[in-house]
Each structure stands twice: as structure tokens, then as C-alpha cells.
Amino acid sequence: MRIPTDLHFRELAGRIHWPHPARNDTQITHRHTSDEDAEVAKATLYVSTVTLVVLLVVLAAIAFGQEAMHWLGVH
């Protein structure tokens, strides 16, 4: 896969981040309401919280497994 040489990351980032139009775009076809933005914020917070809890559970399980192996004398 070839990456085009005229690719500008600022314009690409402007296309990826949906609330912000690209600098060379003059016409915005769709704006998001504050209700939609609030729903996105709630979903982001929910996903972040679930991810944090899962990571903490995994780390606790690893630590417990290491301690159990130590108690059992496994090297």
C-alpha cells in the first residue's frame, strides 16, 4: 500500500474529528446538537469506566495468581 505524498495530516485530522470541519471546508452540511454531544460524552464516559474496571480486575487477577504461585512454592 502506497501512502500518497500529498497527504497532510492536519486535513486528515480535520476529517476524522467529526465536530470540527476541515480548514478548507466552507459549507457545513450537518451540525450536531448539544443533546447528541451529551450522548457521545455519556457513552465515552461509560466505555472509559468499563475499560478501567476490566483492567483493574485483570491486574488484580495477575497479582493474585503470582501470590498464589508464591504461596504454593512454584518457581
Q: What is the pLDDT of residue 37?
A: 87
pTM: 0.53
CA distances from 49 to 37, 52, 59, 60 (A): 18, 5, 15, 16
Higher pLDDT, 74 or 24: 74
DSSP state of 72: H
In whole angstroms, give the CA distance from residue 74 to residue 61. Answer: 17
pLDDT digits 0-9 by tens, 16-73: 655 555 566 556 566 778 888 889 999 999 999 999 999 999 999 999 999 999 999 8
What string of DSSP letters covers 1-67? Answer: -PPPTT--HHHHHHHHSTTS--TT---------HHHHHHHHHHHHHHHHHHHHHHHHHHHHHHHHHH
